[in-house]
Copies of this chain bind each other. A is one copy, B any other.
Amino acid sequence: MTTTVRELTVGEVAEQAGVTQSAVRFYERHGLLTAARTSGNQRRFGESAPCLLKVAKVAQRVGLSVKEITALFATLPEEPAHEDWRRIATTLVVEAQARVDALRAALDDLGSGSKLCELA
């Protein structure tokens, strides 16, 4: 039983993910998303595409570049399972924690007061 996998157009993916169509194309060009093509050369994305985009947006908030997110997604199977998403989430949490730590370090630099500058 091959479930009828509704393939999605650029417009549908964009709408479902809450990004612009140009962004969707941009991400596909950069390999963050992959798409099949119709005989007429139109993109057809898998069901998971909007989800990937949503996760990608979180990843960007965390501070990952498109290239890094692409690499991260490269480890995912075509139709990711719960476990796969969980792994990605964990990776992002770890990354985010690192960024928080970095920020805290910046804070500590400031915390050492005007010690930054021996001026006043």
Task: Name the residue on B nearest A61 (C-beta).
Answer: B106
A33: which B residues are within 8 A, CB to CB? none
Task: Name the residue on B nearest A84 (C-beta).
Answer: B120
Q: Is the CB of B117 within 8 A of A48?
A: yes
Task: Name the residue on B nearest A91 (C-beta).
Answer: B110
Q: Is the CB of B107 within 8 A of A103?
A: no
Bound complex: CA A80 to CA B114 (Å) = 11
Bound complex: CA A54 to CA B109 (Å) = 10
Query: Which of these, B55, B100, B116, contacts A51 with CB under 8 Å?
Result: B116
Query: Which of these, B102, B107, B109, B119, contacts A80 with CB under 8 Å?
Result: B119
Task: Name the residue on B nearest A60 (C-beta).
Answer: B106
